[in-house]
Amino acid sequence: MQRAEECDGSVMRIGVMTDIGKARRTNEDAFLAEPPWFAVADGMGGHAAGDVASRLAIEAVRSFVAGREDPAETVIVEAIRKANGMIWRRSQENRWLDGMGTTLTLMKVESGRCVIGHVGDSRGYLVRDGAVRRLTTDHSVVEELVRTGTLSEREALEHPQRNLLTRALGANPDVQVDLVTEPLMAGDRLLLCTDGLTAVVLDHELGEILTEEAEPEKAAARLVQIANARGGPDNITVVVLELPQP
């Protein structure tokens, strides 16, 4: 899927793909790609609960951000906390949904910058001039170990606790949201993705694909393809944006 959308008077190219992967029976990821708002969510929980949680999160933020004129930081934090409250309440009301949760990474792209709010291990990346940089910090047990130098990025991919989150939407009545603001330049590429990609593709590899592929929708397809070629152990969702060239 590719769409060119007006955003601050300039055309942004977008490629989005979500895929069930090779090992799961359902796709519990969800996404939002409605410029200037973008998001990915990775649901978890028994029965269909993960699917419910990720969809609830996306629907909650979509309706919350519509028409909001407040600063992006304020809107993002409020939207994510609102989504968290809805998921938490729903899980309390329905025993089939007890324990459901989801990650949520929500981004607004404005002129000259982007603002990302996130909870969990769905990531944001910036690719500029062939260099890739991770913008988010996973709320996971292994991220702590990587940050303290106990594990390498490659070792983290093999760690038995790699799926254990330290923060998720729906786990508690309220949630702490991490905010990242990043200045943007013409031609920058942004990626939001779930861990079905990053569990099997290293940062420098996805940076190379995003640099090589001129079309965002082709880049999105290649990212999904490489994750599936490496076993596709989880659902894979990627949202790729390219800011207009100068």
> Which residues in this chain contact Mn ion in the complex, by CB under 5 A?
42, 194-196, 234
- The per-residue b/e assignment along 162-184, b for 16 or more CB within 10 angstroms, e otherwise, is beebebbbbbeeebebbebeeeb
Closer residue to Mn ion in complex, CB, 137/163: 163
Using CA atoms, how far residue 10 sits from 116, 124, 139, 228, in Å, is 20, 22, 34, 34
The distance of closest approach from Cβ of residue 222 to Mn ion in the complex, given in angstroms and rounded to an integer, is 19
Q: Which residues contact 231 (CB under 8 A, 6 or more apart)?
A: 22, 23, 200
Place of tokens 């420098």: 204
Nearest alpha carbon to residue 77 among 55, 108, 53? 108
Closer residue to Mn ion in complex, CB, 143/213: 143
Distance CA 38, CA 123 (A): 12
The distance of closest approach from Cβ of residue 8 to Mn ion in the complex, given in angstroms and rounded to an integer, is 32
Closer residue to Mn ion in complex, CB, 21/36: 21
Closer residue to Mn ion in complex, CB, 19/195: 195
The distance of closest approach from Cβ of residue 24 to Mn ion in the complex, given in angstroms and rounded to an integer, is 9
Cβ proximity of 30 and 40 under 8 Å: yes
The distance of closest approach from Cβ of residue 28 to Mn ion in the complex, given in angstroms and rounded to an integer, is 7
Sort 197 into a burial class: Cβ within 10 Å, 0-12 / 13-18 / 19+: buried
The distance of closest approach from Cβ of residue 158 to Mn ion in the complex, given in angstroms and rounded to an integer, is 16
Amino acid at the residue 124: G
β partners of residue 38 = 33, 107
Closer residue to Mn ion in complex, CB, 36/50: 50
Q: Reduced to 3 states, what is the DSSP secondary structure of residue 73?
A: helix
Closer residue to Mn ion in complex, CB, 14/168: 168
The distance of closest approach from Cβ of residue 3 to Mn ion in the complex, given in angstroms and rounded to an integer, is 25
